[in-house]
Amino acid sequence: MISQDQILAALKEVKYPGFNRDIVSFGLVKDAHAHGVDIHVRLAVTTSDRTIPVALQETATARLRAIPGAGRVKVEVEVQAAPGAAASVTGPQEIEGVRNVIAVASGKGGVGKSTVAANLAIALRRAGSRVGLCDCDLYGPSIALMFGANERPTADDENRIIPIERYGVRLMSMGFLLEDDSPAVLRGPMVTRYTQQFLRQVAWGSLDYLILDLPPGTGDIQLTIVQTVALRGAVIVTTPQEVALIDARKAARMFAKTNVPVLGLVENMSYFQCPSDGVRYDLFGSGGGAREARRLGVPLLGEIPIEPPLREGADLGRPVAEFAPESTAGMAFAALAGALKKQCD
């Protein structure tokens, strides 16, 4: 006799293509039983990639046949079209239950975009809004660390991913699915597919704001989002330094070409105020964000200072907007949330 525990143990060795997570924890196994030594398994996947069901069937069959004493093995894979597939044909579509989808973008890395996105999400929640945050940087996810969350998402009865909730914000990130030191090795089509699944196959529920933390630059992920998701607008993060402003300009042009309004600029690392004497130091220059906002004809939504607690909070999973709201940076994020709400209203 083959037990169900033996079957599930074998299926736990089957990883979903592109992830380090098994199909059992993903909730893809809908039925698994044995008649004597004969095994029958039914899987359900949502994808538009024809290679994934074939790969899962072959790998699962091989694992099940390796069970000592196993007889005949039958693995059925039910396939549903990916929710984002229709959107690519019909144009940008709304995400069910979400009032405002806001993209937080930057032209280059290293300007603190994820820090801004994380604290903006918390500041909006503290202002009374229902907020979700989707980490769309598949190659360099950081939201899990910034929120101090290491849980693994589960699936509901409709095979949708249930987001992790932390500090009242619903979260989804590749960081929840990968091991700490595992890279996401993804080609262009897989990047597009996983981006759509994160946005449309997650049970976000009813939200006032869904913040999208985009990767830096203007690549596949950005294009997938602007072409398939009805964005309320984009917030561009920069520093006062000209080298960052040049790339912020490119990001703004990308959104303009795809008819996505730029709601405003955020100048991060705006200044450092010495805690001992209160003297302000403009480490990366002064007024760059304001000048660029005027050039683009958009508001400067906020100026976020450099503060040790801001960096420490990001590393420890304790964002300043939640744990130090009265700090200079905490109040700056609250002001940013207020300015963004006015733009959306």
Q: Is the pLDDT of residue 179 over 80?
A: no
Tens digits of residue pLDDT in 282-317: 888 888 899 999 999 999 999 999 999 999 999 999
What is the rounded distance in angstroms from the CA atom of residue 77 to the CA atom of residue 171? 29
Answer whether 94's CB lies under 8 Å from 202's CB: no
Query: What is the rounded distance in angstroms from the CA atom of residue 333 to the CA atom of residue 120?
Result: 6
The CATH T-level fold of domain 88-344 is: Rossmann fold (3.40.50)
Mean pLDDT of 49-74: 90
Q: Structurally, what CATH architecture does the domain formed by 4-80 represent?
A: 2-Layer Sandwich (3.30)
Q: Is the pLDDT of residue 83 over 70?
A: no
In this prediction, residues 69-90 reach a mean pLDDT of 72
Q: Any long-range contacts for 9-14 (C-beta under 8 Å, 24+ apart)?
A: 10/60, 10/63, 10/64, 10/66, 10/67, 11/41, 11/60, 11/63, 11/64, 13/63, 14/56, 14/59, 14/60, 14/63
pLDDT at 86: 47
| 190 or 34, higher pLDDT | 34
Mean pLDDT for the chain? 89
pTM given for the model:
0.74
What is the model's pLDDT at position 183? 62
> Where are the chain's structural domains?
4-80, 88-344
* Rg of the chain on CA atoms, in Å: 22
More confident residue, 157 or 339: 339
pLDDT at 87: 44
pLDDT of 191: 78
Which tokens hold the place of 141? Answer: 């996810």
Domains 4-80 and 88-344 share a fold: no
What is the pLDDT, as a whole number, of residue 243?
A: 83
Query: Region 195-204: what's the mean pLDDT?
Result: 91
Q: Are strands 169-173 and 131-135 parallel, antiparallel or unpaired?
A: parallel
Q: pLDDT by residue (tens digit) across 25-53?
A: 878 899 999 999 999 999 988 776 678 88
